[in-house]
């Protein structure tokens, strides 16, 4: 369980760092590391970091954790969720 806590903390700080460069509104976390109870731990720790350390950011960014089967095929879901490039 300690590893998921640590990864969640890093994720929270990582999101805050990316928010310096991008106008984040939604963050989708995916991949095998989010499978099982680990995903919930990651999500709660990242949200806790944002709430305590970056409250303004926590108020405007939503972190999403999809259902179990979707988490395991993260790259395909991430590619499908990208906005179309308007020309």
pLDDT one-digit tens code per residue, 14-58: 999 999 999 999 998 877 788 888 889 999 999 999 999 999 999
Q: CB under 8 Å to 62, separation ≥6 — which residues? A: 25, 26, 27
Q: Tell me what the mean pLDDT of segment 5-14 comes to.
A: 96
Residue 59 lies in a domain: yes
Residue 85 lies in a domain: no
Domain count of the chain?
Answer: 1
Q: Is residue 86 part of a domain?
A: no
- Domain assignment present for residue 62? The answer is yes
Q: Global pTM?
A: 0.79
* Structural domain that includes position 38: 2-80
H/E run at residue 29: none
Residue 68, pLDDT > 80, answer: no
In degrees, rounded to 5, the angle at the alpha carbon of residue 19 between the alpha carbons of residues 16 and 25 is 105
């Amino acid at each position: 369980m300690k590893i998921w806590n640590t990864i969640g903390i890093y994720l929270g700080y990582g999101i805050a760092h990316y928010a310096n460069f991008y106008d984040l509104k939604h963050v989708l976390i995916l991949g095998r590391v989010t499978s099982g109870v680990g995903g919930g731990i990651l999500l709660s720790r990242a949200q806790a970091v944002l709430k305590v350390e970056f409250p303004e950011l926590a108020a405007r960014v939503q972190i999403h954790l999809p259902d179990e089967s979707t988490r395991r095929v993260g790259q395909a879901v991430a590619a499908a969720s990208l906005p179309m490039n308007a020309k």
